[in-house]
Every structure is written in structure tokens, then in C-alpha cells.
Amino acid sequence: MEDAMTQNPATEDPKLDATEATEQAAATGPEAEIARLEAERDDLKDKLLRTLAEMENLRRRTEREVADAKAYATTSFARDMLGSADNLRRALESLPDAAQADPSAKPFQEGVELTERELIKTLERHGVRKIDPQGEKFDPNLHQAMFEAPDATIGKGLVSKVVQVGYKIGERVLRPALVGVSAGAPKASDGQAGNGTTSH
């Protein structure tokens, strides 16, 4: 009895090992190997496509950043130069009428005007453009309203007076134009001249 019991495990083990080996061989047959390789290929292809897409996005972002750096590299310098442009304009506007009519003051006036024009052209060459919105629709992205007042000569919501011109560099505002906005034609007062009066 004991001999039979000791022999049973020994006789069962080889059968179990053979069955497992057969199952493993079936599992690792050609079809299973092909399926595994195809899954691995698809995974690698997906990773490659994702990497290529990320690289393309990085390239575009880098190009955009380089273009922005070139376009806006002079922003600080251009902003500092606006004060000089303002001072030249103030110098011209401060000339009294008598001085403007004086022939001896003419060369001075022309010299300041020439300097102002040259400065504006230089700024324009570097992408800086003047914002002079007289008569245009008020745009809070480009203009800063200093006041609103009735004006019969221009429609409501339009720029009636430019207090100080603004400037843009590329698509960015360096300085908004300071403006007065028309509130439209003044309303007629209730007590107009002649109303409620009698003539003798």
C-alpha cells in the first residue's frame, strides 16, 4: 500500500509536465507569435506617430517664438523713443502764430518737422506704426478715452479729439491713443430762447 502511494506522485508528475509543455507550445505557436509581434509593431508605430506630432508642434512653437522675438525685440527701445516723438510734436505745436509767420523762424520749424518725420519713418521701419484715430469708431483695445462730450459735427461713439497719438508694434499696442469721444449732438434744452416769452 505504501509502495503504491509513493509511486502515484512519481507517475503523475511526468504527465503533468508533458501537459504543461504541450500547452506552452500551443500558446507560443506561430499564430500567437505573429499576434504578439503585430501588437508590438502597432504600439511602436503609435509611439512613433505621437513623437513625430510632438516634434512638429515643438518646431512650430519654436518658429513662432523666434518670429515674435524678432518682431518685438525693439519693444522697450521703441517705447522709450515715443517720448522723443511727442516732444518734437509739442515743440511744433508750441510755436506761436507770430513765430510761424516769421521768415527767420521758418528754417527752425522745417528742421523740427523733418526730424519728426525721420523719427517716425525709422520707427515704422522697425514695425512701429502710429495710431491717429481722429473720426474713427472708439476702440478700447487701441484707444483710451479721456472724456466724452457732445459734438454736433461727429457721430456718437466716434473719436472727436486726439489728445495724444498712440503707437503699435506688430499687433501689440505700445501705447494707446488718448482720445475724447463724441456723445453725439447736444440735446435741445427745455427752456429755449423765445419760449414762454411775449413780445410787446
In CATH terms, the superfamily for domain 128-186 is Head domain of nucleotide exchange factor GrpE (2.30.22.10)
pLDDT, mean of residues 69-93: 86
How confident is residue 27, by pLDDT bands cut at 50, 70 and 90?
low
CB atoms within 10 A of CB 181: 20
129's CB contacts (< 8 A; 6+ apart) are: 123, 167, 168, 169
Q: Please report which residue ranges of the chain form alpha helices under DSSP H.
A: 2-27, 30-72, 75-93, 97-101, 106-125
Quick check: 146 pLDDT over 90? yes
CA proximity to 150, closest of 161, 164, 162: 161
Query: Between residues 6 and 62, which one has the greater pLDDT?
Result: 62
**Per-domain residue ranges for the chain?**
18-68, 128-186
Say whether pTM exceeds 0.75: no
From residue 172, how far is each of 63, 81, 84, 130, 192 by CA, in Å?
19, 16, 20, 12, 49
The predicted-structure confidence for 32-46, as pLDDT tens digits, reads as follows 888 889 999 999 999
Instruction: Give the Cα separation of 133 and 117 in Å (integer).
Output: 19
Contact 167, 178 (CB under 8 A): no
